[in-house]
């Protein structure tokens, strides 16, 4: 075996910037594609993106199951309709997603990047097409260097057409989350979609085609904010693809059918580099370019099997594990605990919000100019504007009444107490309260406006606290 590597050796590899190297865009990385355990996991996680393409066509209660209706300022999510008043829940959803990402990163590094991020997933699909049309990595490099010919032109046209088809599907599908999906397809085919739809579709076609087809890993290196901040979320307990220095070094070539017995297990075949979609040499230690996809693990394992060595020369492991230190349980890791706590708080807020979404949102605005009016008979009148949003898809018959300490002194006037709230509408209306005119001095009094459902909506009660203002 090679030299025994010490903790200092790992520290050096994990921190020494001289080992850091990423392709800065000067070359196109043509990674080999090989089968393996992590490749299969990646196919599975990538397949979950098919839901993105299918979801706009799901129907729920006669409308699109998931629809961000921006003109109507409503968000349909299956049975729930989220109105602007409920948008705080969307903020909690974003916090929840961020905490999930941070927590997963603290535990297992950039697995999101490697297995699920739309940039790496679309890039993987694009390079898969490239592989099918132009051949394996070596053939692709050769084709790129070759002079233009009919064959080269044919291959390039087929590849770019397939890329553009996926880009168009991506653009239209994304836009379909904001408008009626089948109508959008009809409008696209008849070139009659609204301008804003064309702009969004065009942006997504261009973004998908350029980012996944040409920029690829450069997006991860230079444009992705997550790649910039992920280093503060990982520590020596984080499990990432790691090269076993102790086992692997010093590297040695295979001589004939046997491996040189004086070297480590790494035969310097560079297969791990050849399959890396970002061109990283994992043997150089932790790199900003590594997206934790595990392709190098599959590659190295296949080589180890061939040279009759145990697999796992490159494996998912933390720096501490590589130094022989046992990982602490998750609940003893402060950053995992903090992320989990925030996650649970956000989740509780969402569950509470969803279970308490009221079908009616009531606001009562007290008229300010004037605060009150003295009537000819000496009584005091206050004006209020009732703003009741009926979030349901049916009209809602209700009664309106007020609750005051002394009903004889303040009462609802000029209104019969019957209200029909139009489906999915906010139709404001004015009401007047009048204070007693028997000479009694009135003080400002708390008033509660109460809307109560009628018929099949009996039991639905919405309250809003306000005040009846009188002259001092
Ligand atoms: S694939 Fe394994 S054996 Fe080959 S160079 Fe990489 S680490 Fe060494
Ligand atoms: S070094 Fe390995 S895990 Fe990291 S991006 Fe390359 S192939 Fe994926």
| CATH number, position 421 | 2.60.40.10
Could you say which of 341, 357, 373 is where a domain stops? 357
Residue 113: exposed, middle, or buried by beta-carbon count in 10 A (0-12, 13-18, 19+)? Answer: buried
Q: Is residue 333 part of a domain?
A: yes
Percent of the chain with pLDDT strictly greater than 90:
56
Q: Which long-range contacts (CB under 8 A, 24 or more apart) does 266-275 make?
A: 266/313, 267/303, 267/307, 269/303, 271/32, 271/299, 271/300, 271/302, 271/303, 272/243, 272/296, 272/299, 272/300, 272/314, 274/31, 274/32, 274/137, 274/299, 275/31, 275/32, 275/33, 275/34, 275/299
pLDDT at 2: 36
User: Cα(390)–Cα(360) distance, rounded to whole angstroms?
Assistant: 5
Residue 6 has pLDDT above 60, yes or no: no
Q: Residue whose CA is closest, atom 7 of ligand 2?
A: 276
Q: Which of 219-223, 255-259, 422-426 has the lowest average pLDDT?
A: 255-259
For the beta carbon of residue 250, count every other beta carbon within 10 angstroms.
Answer: 13
Residue 3 has pLDDT above 60, yes or no: no
pLDDT at 222: 85
Please indicate whether residue 240, judged by its CB atom, sits closer than 6 Å to ligand 2: no
- Tens-place pLDDT, residues 309-346: 999 999 999 988 988 888 888 888 888 899 999 999 99
Between 368 and 258, the more confident residue is 368
126 and 11, same structural domain? yes
297 and 387, same structural domain? no
Please indicate whether residue 300, judged by its CB atom, sits closer than 6 Å to ligand 2: no
Antiparallel, parallel or unpaired: β 418-421 and 425-426: unpaired
Please indicate whether residue 140, judged by its CB atom, sits closer than 6 Å to ligand 1: no
The arithmetic mean of pLDDT across residues 370-394, rounded, is: 88
371 and 352, same structural domain? no
Please indicate whether residue 299, judged by its CB atom, sits closer than 6 Å to ligand 2: no
Residue 464 has pLDDT above 70, yes or no: yes
| Number of domains observed in the structure of the chain | 2
Residue from 300, 305, 309, 310 to probe ligand 1 pocket by mutation (most atoms less than 8 Å from CB): 300
Q: Is residue 419 part of a domain?
A: yes
pLDDT at 175: 97
pLDDT at 261: 61
- Tens-place pLDDT, residues 118-134: 999 999 999 999 999 99
Q: Is residue 448 part of a domain?
A: yes
350 and 293, same structural domain? yes
CA of 37 to the centre of ligand 2 (A): 14
Please indicate whether residue 117, judged by its CB atom, sits closer than 6 Å to ligand 2: no
392 and 314, same structural domain? no
The arithmetic mean of pLDDT across residues 403-419, rounded, is: 85
Using DSSP, how many helices (H) and how many strands (E) does the chain show? 17, 19
Residue 7 has pLDDT above 70, yes or no: no
Please indicate whether residue 280, judged by its CB atom, sits closer than 6 Å to ligand 1: no
Bridge partners of residue 241, in order along the sequence:
316
What is the three-class DSSP state of 72? coil
User: Cα(252)–Cα(260) distance, rounded to whole angstroms?
Assistant: 7
224 and 342, same structural domain? yes
pLDDT at 23: 63
Bridge partners of residue 413, in order along the sequence:
432
pTM of this prediction?
0.79
The arithmetic mean of pLDDT across residues 278-284, rounded, is: 91
Q: How far is CA 64 from the centre of its chain?
A: 20
- Tens-place pLDDT, residues 144-187: 999 999 999 999 999 999 999 999 999 999 999 999 999 999 99
Percent of the chain with pLDDT strictly greater than 70:
91
Residue from 244, 268, 276 to probe ligand 1 pocket by mutation (most atoms less than 8 Å from CB): 268
| Segment of 59-73, 200-214, 313-327, 416-430 carrying the highest mean pLDDT | 200-214
User: Cα(377)–Cα(355) distance, rounded to whole angstroms?
Assistant: 48
Could you say which of 293, 322, 357 is where a domain stops? 357
pLDDT at 14: 47
Residue 17 has pLDDT above 60, yes or no: no
Q: Is residue 87 part of a domain?
A: yes
pLDDT at 25: 64
On whether the CB atoms of residues 157 and 32 are closer than 8 A, the answer is: no
351 and 236, same structural domain? yes
Please indicate whether residue 296, judged by its CB atom, sits closer than 6 Å to ligand 2: yes
Please indicate whether residue 293, judged by its CB atom, sits closer than 6 Å to ligand 1: no
Task: For the chain, give the mean pLDDT.
Answer: 87
Phi first, then psi: give them for residue 419, nearest 5 degrees: -135, 140
H or E segment to which residue 464 belongs: strand 461-468
Residue 24 has pLDDT above 90, yes or no: no
Q: Is residue 376 part of a domain?
A: yes
290 and 273, same structural domain? yes
Residue 410 has pLDDT above 70, yes or no: yes
376 and 260, same structural domain? no
**Residue 336, token pair as written in the block:** 């995992």
Residue from 296, 302, 303 to probe ligand 2 pocket by mutation (most atoms less than 8 Å from CB): 296
Q: Is residue 166 part of a domain?
A: no
Q: Note down the domain range covering 240.
A: 1-48+83-146+216-357
Q: Is residue 68 part of a domain?
A: no
3 and 136, same structural domain? yes
Could you say which of 357, 388, 410 is where a domain stops? 357
For the beta carbon of residue 383, count every other beta carbon within 10 angstroms.
Answer: 17
454 and 343, same structural domain? no
304 and 442, same structural domain? no
Closest atom, ligand 2, to C-alpha of 291: 5
- Tens-place pLDDT, residues 237-247: 999 999 999 99
Q: Is residue 14 part of a domain?
A: yes
What lies within 8 Å, CB to CB, of 370 at 6+ separation is none
Closest atom, ligand 2, to C-alpha of 294: 3
Grade residue 274 by pLDDT with cuts at 50, 70 and 90. very high
pLDDT at 58: 95
pLDDT at 79: 75
CA of 78 to the centre of ligand 1 (A): 49
- Tens-place pLDDT, residues 77-122: 887 788 877 778 888 999 999 999 999 999 998 999 999 999 999 9
């Amino acid at each position: 075996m090679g030299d025994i590597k010490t903790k200092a050796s790992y520290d050096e590899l994990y921190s020494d910037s001289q080992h850091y190297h990423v392709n800065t865009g000067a070359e196109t990385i043509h990674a080999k594609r090989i089968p393996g355990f992590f490749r299969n996991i990646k196919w599975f996680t990538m397949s979950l993106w098919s839901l993105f393409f299918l979801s706009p066509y799901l129907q729920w209660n006669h409308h699109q199951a998931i629809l961000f209706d921006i003109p109507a300022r409503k968000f349909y999510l299956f049975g729930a309709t989220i109105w602007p008043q409920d948008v705080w829940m969307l903020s909690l959803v974003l916090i929840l997603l961020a905490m999930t990402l941070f927590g997963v990163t603290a535990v297992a590094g950039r697995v999101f990047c490697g297995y699920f991020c739309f940039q790496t997933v679309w890039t993987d699909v694009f390079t898969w097409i490239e592989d099918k049309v132009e051949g394996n990595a070596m053939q692709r490099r050769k084709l790129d260097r070759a002079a233009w010919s009919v064959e080269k032109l044919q291959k390039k046209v087929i590849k770019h057409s397939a890329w553009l088809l996926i880009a168009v599907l991506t653009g239209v599908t994304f836009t379909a989350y904001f408008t009626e999906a089948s109508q959008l397809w009809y409008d696209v085919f008849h070139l009659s979609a609204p301008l804003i739809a064309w702009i969004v579709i065009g942006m997504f076609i261009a973004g998908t085609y350029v980012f996944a087809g040409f920029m690829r890993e450069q997006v991860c290196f230079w444009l992705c904010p997550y790649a910039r901040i992920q280093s503060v979320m990982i520590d020596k307990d984080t499990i990432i693809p790691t090269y076993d220095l102790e086992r692997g070094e010093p590297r040695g070539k295979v001589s004939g059918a046997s491996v040189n017995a004086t070297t480590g297990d790494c035969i310097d075949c560079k297969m791990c580099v050849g399959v890396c979609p970002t061109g990283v040499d994992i043997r150089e230690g932790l790199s900003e370019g590594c997206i934790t996809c595990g392709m190098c693990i599959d590659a190295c394992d296949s080589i180890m099997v061939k040279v009759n060595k145990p697999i796992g020369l490159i494996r998912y492991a933390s720096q501490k594990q590589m130094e022989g230190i046992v990982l602490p349980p998750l609940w003893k890791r402060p950053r995992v605990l903090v992320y989990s706590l925030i996650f649970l708080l956000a989740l509780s807020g969402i569950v509470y919000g969803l279970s308490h979404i009221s079908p009616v949102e009531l606001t009562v605005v007290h008229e300010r100019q004037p605060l009150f009016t003295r009537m000819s008979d000496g009584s005091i009148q206050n004006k209020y504007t009732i703003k009741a949003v009926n979030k349901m898809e049916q009209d809602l018959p209700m009664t309106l009444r007020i609750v005051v300490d002394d009903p004889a002194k303040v009462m609802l006037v000029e209104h019969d107490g019957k209200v029909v709230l139009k489906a999915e509408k906010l139709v404001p209306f004015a009401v007047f309260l009048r204070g007693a005119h028997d000479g009694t001095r009135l003080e400002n009094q708390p008033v509660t406006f109460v809307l109560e459902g009628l018929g099949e909506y009996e039991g639905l009660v919405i309250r809003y606290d306000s005040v009846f203002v009188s002259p001092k």
